[in-house]
Amino acid sequence: MKIKIAPSILSADFNNLAAELKKVQRAGADLIHVDVMDGHFVPNITIGPVIVKYMRKATKLPLDVHLMIENPAKYLSAFVNAGSDMITVHIETVTVKELAVMSKGLNNKAVKLGVSLNPATSLDKIKKALPLVDFVLVMSVNPGFSGQEFIPGALRKIKQLRAIFKKDIAVDGGINNLTGRQVINAGANIIVAGSYIFGAKNTKKAINSLR
């Protein structure tokens, strides 16, 4: 499977957002990962559809929007209209029934749907959701902040998931060149990284080291 690298914009310099987007695009990024947090589902507040709309103008890369929010169904169309190409919702915030409705709606708009699970959530919780989604995002930190340490339990989860799920598996949190290699070996093919990429002196080298 092709490995895709998704820099997480949360670690970028928001004073120069357009330039930061261009920088990772030039360095070979495949997707732009956008962390949306509401201060309820996670203890941090970040950005909403308005910023996504401006990001859409600043890059041609697909926008991979990670919704760490309560009641994502309520905000789905706002993020679609803002220009998202992929939208991830957390299994802790939706029912399978809601996911089925989202899946249908997003399919019509050619937007990909992903489901994510926190480190403490077992794979069993997403089994019924698997036929409804285009990809799964395995969290390897507790969502809320960038720059946290990788939780190794994610590796077993990725392996078990890869055995039953043939589509894209993304992994998010604490990824660097070492943990990146581990998650790829376990079966992940979309690699989200924030501080490792935006904190690097040489962006291209950092992205290539993940690939």
Instruction: Point out which residues bind ligand DX5 (CB under 6 A).
Output: 8, 10-11, 33, 35, 66, 141, 143-148, 172-175, 192-196
Structure tokens at 46: 């970040």
Nearer CB in complex with ligand DX5: 101/177? 177
CB contact set of 178 (below 8 Å; sequence gap of 6+) = none
With CB cut-offs between 5 and 8 Å by kind, which of Zn ion, ligand DX5, none does residue 194 bind? ligand DX5
With CB cut-offs between 5 and 8 Å by kind, which of ligand DX5, Zn ion, none does residue 174 bind? ligand DX5
35 is catalytic: yes
Nearest residue by C-beta to ligand DX5? 194
Strand partners of residue 34: 65
φ, ψ of residue 30 to 5 degrees: the values are -95, -30
124 is catalytic: no
Q: How many residues of this chain bind Zn ion (CB under 5 A)?
A: 3
- The span from the CA of 93 to the CA of 153, in Å, is 22
Nearer CB in complex with ligand DX5: 105/119? 119
32 within 8 A of 24, measured Cβ to Cβ = yes
Among 30, 35, 38, 168, the active-site one is 35
Which member of 35, 38, 64, 168 binds Zn ion (CB under 5 A)?
A: 35
191 within 8 A of 3, measured Cβ to Cβ = yes
Nearer CB in complex with ligand DX5: 6/99? 6
Instruction: Read off the DSSP letter of residue 111.
Output: -
Among 38, 64, 168, 172, the active-site one is 172
CB contact set of 121 (below 8 Å; sequence gap of 6+) = 91, 92
Nearer CB in complex with ligand DX5: 54/145? 145
- The span from the CA of 127 to the CA of 150, in Å, is 24
Which member of 172, 174, 198, 203 binds Zn ion (CB under 5 A)?
A: 172
> Catalytic positions, please?
35, 172
